[in-house]
Structure 1
C-alpha cells in the first residue's frame, strides 16, 4: 500500500545499534518487593508499572535471583488465592514445589512450564523443596483472563514438551502462544506469545513478531542494549505494535523473555493476588478467601499437602478502588 500523505514526515527505522530510544518504546524500571509471608524473598517487579500496566494480556512480571539459597529458606509462599488470571511459572535454575486446591502436586523445573488458570477461584502454594539446587532463579508472570473466560472453572497444566528452536549461537523456547509457526501446548485465552531466548556471546537472532501485537523484552541475567535503551535484568522494555521482527544481539551472552499480545481492551482492578473489574468484586473475593482460610467457605478449597497455614489477606484500602486501563492515557 502506498503512503498517500502529501507532506510525509521523516520515518525512522530503529535498529539495535541506535543510541536514541525509539519513539514506540518505553523502559519499565522494576521495584523490589517481598514475595510471600514472614520469610519473604525479594523479587524485582516491572509489571504493572506506573504508566503501563499491561503488555497484551500479560499483567504482571516478577524476576527473582539468581540467589544462593543454600543457607536460606528460598521461596516459601504459603497458600493464597487467585481469581481472573493465569499464572506462568518459569525457572532458569532451581526447583519449586507447586500445590493447589485442585489437588495438583507438581515439581517445577527449568525449561518446563507450569500454567495455572484461576478462573472463578483457586488457591496454591509455591515452596522451595528441601533437596533443591542451591541457586534459585526464575520468573513469575500473570495473564489476565478476558471477560468471557474469567468466571470459568480453575485448571492446572504442566508441560515439559515445549517447542525449542535452535539457531547458530541462539536457542528459543516457546512458552505460550505461537512463534514463527511453532506453538506451545499451553492453553491461553487471548492472542499472545511468550518465549525464552538464550544467546551465546556475540550471537545474533532475528525474532519474527506479529505486527498486531505489542511486545516486551525482559532480561533475566545480564544487561541488554536494545533500541536505544540499556535494560538491566528485571527491567522490561515495551515495544509498540507494528513491528515484524526484532533483532537481538548480546556481546556477553544473554537470557531473556519476550512476551506479547494484542492490546487488552478491558480495564482491570488488580489488588493483592486478585484480578477483577470493580471494587465490590474484589471485596467479595477477599471475604470468600478469609472464610475459606478459617474453614468456613467453599469458593477456595484447601491446598492439600502444604505444610503451613494459609496467607491472610491484607486489609482493604479505606477508599473505593477503581479499575484502570492497560496504560495511562
Structure 2
C-alpha cells in the first residue's frame, strides 16, 4: 500500500518506551482515486512513530466495494522497509517488480521486503464485495535495508488462547506457544487475536518488546485502558504479560504488534525509509526518472503509476527518540 497523503509528514521512526499505556487514536486518510477509499491510520504520528520496527499501520473496512470503490493502488515505490498485508475479508491482487504475483486472502500473510528498492501495485479483485483488513510496514535495520527484494507467504494455523476464550493466528514471531516460520531482521511479533464476548485473557510476552494493540472491533480493555475501534494501545517494554478484556457482547478482534525498540535514527517520507535528507531526495528523483532501482510492474504502462509528491521546503531531519 502507498502512503498517498498529499502532504506526507517527515517522520522519525522511533518512539520512547512508556511506563503507562498510551492510546493512539486513528486519523482518516484517503488512499486516492476517484472515490478515495478511506483508511484509519495509527502509525506514524508525531508523538508515536514506531512500535518495535513497525512504522506504519492502516486499518480499513469493512467497506462495501460498491460504495468505497475498493482498493486501486497503482505502482508505487518503496525503500528500506517491508510491507505486511493481512486481510479479514475480501481479496487483493499483489504484483511487484521482483516478478511476484500473489493473491492476498484472509488469514494469509503476504510480506514484501523492498530492500534496495521495489515497486508494486495492489488492486482488490472483481469478486470482492467487502474489503476489510490492515496494511502494515516495518523498517529494515541498516544492515539489511539495501539487501535483495524478497517475498514471504505464510498461512498460520488458528490456535486457542489460554483458557479457551478465543483464538490467535501468529503471522510473525511467537505467542502462546505458536511460532511463525517467517524470517525477520529484528525480533518482532504480529498476531491476530479473537477474544470471546465478556472474556479476559493474559498472555505471556517478551519483556524486551514494546507492544501495540490495534482494535478492529468496537471495544477492548488493554492493560486496563479502554480502546475504541481503530485505536491502538501502546505498552512499553518491561512487561512479561499483557491482559486483554472484552466487555462487549460480541467477539473482539485485535492485531497485536511487538518488537524490541528500534534504536536507529531514520526518516520516513512518503513511501521511503532512509537515513538522511539526501537519500530521500535521491529516492524521489530516481522514482520520477523511472530508474532501474525500482523496476517495472507487469501489466501496467509507464504512465500508470503514483507520482511522488513534492518535497517540503525544509530539510528532512529525524526526530530523535526521547531517552
TM-score (norm 1): 0.87
Equivalents in 1 of 2:322, 2:95: separation in Å?
A: 36
**Equivalence for 1:165:** 159
Equivalents in 2 of 1:119, 1:67: separation in Å?
A: 32
By how many angstroms is 1:28 displaced?
Answer: 0.9
**Equivalence for 2:57:** 61
**Equivalence for 2:296:** 302
Secondary structure of the structure 2 residue equivalent to 1:267:
coil
**Equivalence for 1:188:** 184
Equivalents in 1 of 2:244, 2:92: separation in Å?
A: 30
By how many angstroms is 1:72 displaced?
Answer: 4.2
Match status 1:323 vs 2:322: no
Alpha carbons of structure 1 residues 114 and 263: separation in structure 2 relative to 1, 3 Å = same
Secondary structure of the structure 2 residue equivalent to 1:299:
helix
Query: After the TM superposition, which residues 278-297 of structure 1 pair with which residues of structure 2 at under 5 Å, given as runs?
Result: 278-292=276-290, 297=291
Secondary structure of the structure 2 residue equivalent to 1:130:
coil
By how many angstroms is 1:241 displaced?
Answer: 0.8
Is the 2:213–2:222 contact (alpha carbons within 8 Å) kept by the matching residues of 1? Answer: no
**Equivalence for 2:106:** 110
Equivalents in 2 of 1:33, 1:71: separation in Å?
A: 17
**Equivalence for 1:257:** 255
Is the 1:223–1:233 contact (alpha carbons within 8 Å) kept by the matching residues of 2? Answer: yes
**Equivalence for 2:202:** 206
**Equivalence for 1:237:** 233
Equivalents in 2 of 1:70, 1:36: separation in Å?
A: 16
**Equivalence for 2:78:** 82
Which of 214, 224, 234 is the matching residue for 1:218? Answer: 214
**Equivalence for 1:136:** 131
By how many angstroms is 1:112 displaced?
Answer: 0.3
Equivalents in 2 of 1:227, 1:87: separation in Å?
A: 28
Query: Deviations for 1:160-199, whole angstroms, at most 9, x for unmatched residues?
Result: 2x14321323110001112244221222100111110001
Equivalents in 2 of 1:316, 1:301: separation in Å?
A: 22
Alpha carbons of structure 1 residues 286 and 37: separation in structure 2 relative to 1, 3 Å = farther
Is the 1:219–1:257 contact (alpha carbons within 8 Å) kept by the matching residues of 2? Answer: yes
RMSD, matched Cα: 1.7
Equivalents in 1 of 2:285, 2:19: separation in Å?
A: 44
Secondary structure of the structure 2 residue equivalent to 1:157:
strand
**Equivalence for 1:271:** 269
Match status 1:152 vs 2:150: no
Equivalents in 2 of 1:306, 1:166: separation in Å?
A: 43
Is the 1:95–1:109 contact (alpha carbons within 8 Å) kept by the matching residues of 2? Answer: yes
Secondary structure of the structure 2 residue equivalent to 1:187:
coil
- Unpaired segments ≥5 residues, structure 1: 1-21
Match status 1:124 vs 2:120: yes
Equivalents in 2 of 1:38, 1:81: separation in Å?
A: 21
**Equivalence for 1:48:** 44
Query: Deviations for 1:114-144, whole angstroms, at most 9, x for unmatched residues?
Result: 0000011000111111111x21110011110
By how many angstroms is 1:306 displaced?
Answer: 4.2
Secondary structure of the structure 2 residue equivalent to 1:124:
strand
Q: How many residues align?
A: 301
Equivalents in 2 of 1:94, 1:251: separation in Å?
A: 28
- Out of 40-49 and 112-121, give the one that drifted further: 40-49
TM-score (norm 2): 0.89
Alpha carbons of structure 1 residues 306 and 221: separation in structure 2 relative to 1, 3 Å = farther
- Unpaired segments ≥5 residues, structure 2: 1-17
